[in-house]
Amino acid sequence: MDTMSAPAPLTNDPATLLAEGWTVRVVPETASTNFAASRLPAWHALRARVQTGGRGRIPERRWVSDEGGLWLSAVVPCPGAARKWEILPLATGWALLGALREFGVPDLRLRWPNDLLVGRRKLAGVLVERFRPDTAVIGVGLNISNRPELAEPALAGATARLADLVPGGHDPDDLARIVLRALRRMHTIVLDRGFGVIADALNLGWQGSRRVELTLTGRAATFAGSFQGIDAQGRLRLVTERDGPQTFDASQVARLRELE
Ligand code: BT5
């Protein structure tokens, strides 16, 4: 957990904007916007122009967050049982897929649980964290006109960015609005109708079954099978040659690698 002091009051802050029912604060730089947003109330969001310690979904994976991308954390309320909100990472992937397709990104697809890819290149990633029982922080990293491979040469050929995919309109504030609108809509659907509707739509977003290799949490061994999307509770469905159909909770899977 970070040790940063709470962000300055939101009122009269020139870097604060209201968008789509959200209050959004923009800061030049922070370690991780998820940490910086951890103490904000619901329907507040924080965007940094640069993250110095952007994080991936597991501690040893970092998220390169150079100037020109969207590094955004949005706080949503999570009333009721914690279990109801365990599907937020999947639901967020679905929300972003729809919003970015609408924005005009061609050939966009999802890789479980919520990577947004164009072909095999990663355009965006999601990190959802629960710092408090009543809220969740949804962190979204989206490459726009930044060059992550310059900061991290190992990423060459593995990343995509909006500037190469969609003409014009690459203002991070506009994209923040688009993302926040989609998150708000997703939240309403989860609250009012549950995850089932989203699960059905998500199963179209993976674009068919694919051979994958899973690494289970806390285990070194990997095993291969055919990825079959998710069930109505959000569990990953896999068919292996040896054991047939199996399901896994997201927390059981440390890594999914596509083999084709
Ligand atoms: C993710 O992790 O994809 C989650 C990324 C979440 C980033 C947001 S930004 C706002 C908020 N604040 C944070 O600190 N994080 C969130 P994962 O699935 O573990 O993927 C991480 C992997 O993606 C790395 O190991 C790299 O291989 C790759 N990667 C790193 N930076 C990238 C970038 N800018 N674009 C594409 N791929 C990248």
Residue by residue, DSSP assigns 32-53 as: -HHHHHTTSPTTEEEEEEEESS
Q: With a 6 A CB cut-off, is 25 part of the ligand 1 pocket? A: no
129 and 92 share one domain: yes
AA letter at 133: P
Instruction: Please report the pLDDT score of residue 60 as a whole number.
Output: 86
Domain edge (last residue) among 203, 223, 238? 203
Stretch 231-247: mean pLDDT, rounded? 92
129 and 17 share one domain: yes
Residue by residue, DSSP assigns 219-230 as: ---EEEEEEEEE
Provide the number of structural domains found in the chain: 2
128 and 84 share one domain: yes
pLDDT in tens, 167-213: 987 999 999 999 999 999 999 999 999 999 999 999 988 887 899 99
Instruction: Please report the pLDDT score of residue 4 as a whole number.
Output: 42
C-alpha closest to that of 9 among 50, 40, 48: 40
Pairing of strands 121-132, 44-51: unpaired
Which position has the higher pLDDT, 60 or 179? 179
245 and 148 share one domain: no
- Compute, in angstroms, the gap from residue 63 CA to the centroid of ligand 1: 4
- Compute, in angstroms, the gap from residue 125 CA to the centroid of ligand 1: 5
> Does residue 7 carry a pLDDT above 60?
no
C-alpha closest to that of 71 among 35, 119, 105: 35
131 and 65 share one domain: yes
37 and 100 share one domain: yes
Q: Report whether 141 contacts 54 (CB < 8 A).
A: yes
175 and 215 share one domain: no
pLDDT in tens, 31-58: 999 999 999 999 999 999 999 999 999 8
212 and 198 share one domain: no
Question: How many C-beta neighbours within 10 Å does residue 153 have?
Answer: 8
List the CATH number of the domain containing 231.
Answer: 2.30.30
Stretch 64-90: mean pLDDT, rounded? 96
List the CATH number of the domain containing 66.
Answer: 3.30.930.10
145 and 249 share one domain: no
- Compute, in angstroms, the gap from residue 142 CA to the centroid of ligand 1: 9
Residue bearing tokens 């809509």: 185
All residues at 6 or more sequence positions from 214 whose CB lies less than 8 Å from its CB, including other chains: 222, 223, 224, 225, 236, 238, 248, 253, 255, 256, 257
pLDDT in tens, 123-135: 999 999 999 999 9
Domain edge (last residue) among 157, 182, 203? 203
- Compute, in angstroms, the gap from residue 60 CA to the centroid of ligand 1: 11
Report which protein residue has its CA nearest ligand 1's atom 9. Answer: 141
Instruction: Please report the pLDDT score of residue 92 as a whole number.
Output: 98
Instruction: Please report the pLDDT score of residue 17 as a whole number.
Output: 66
Read off the DSSP letter of residue 162.
G
Q: With a 6 A CB cut-off, is 45 part of the ligand 1 pocket? A: no
Q: How far apart are CA 199 and CA 91, in angstroms?
A: 8
Q: What percent of the chain has pLDDT over 90?
A: 80
74 and 130 share one domain: yes
Q: How far apart are CA 142 and CA 173, in angstroms?
A: 12
Q: How far apart are CA 63 and CA 51, in angstroms?
A: 9
58 and 118 share one domain: yes
34 and 120 share one domain: yes
Could you tell me the residue range of the domain that residue 172 belongs to?
2-203
Instruction: Please report the pLDDT score of residue 133 as a whole number.
Output: 94
AA letter at 148: P
Instruction: Please report the pLDDT score of residue 32 as a whole number.
Output: 98
> Does residue 14 carry a pLDDT above 60?
no
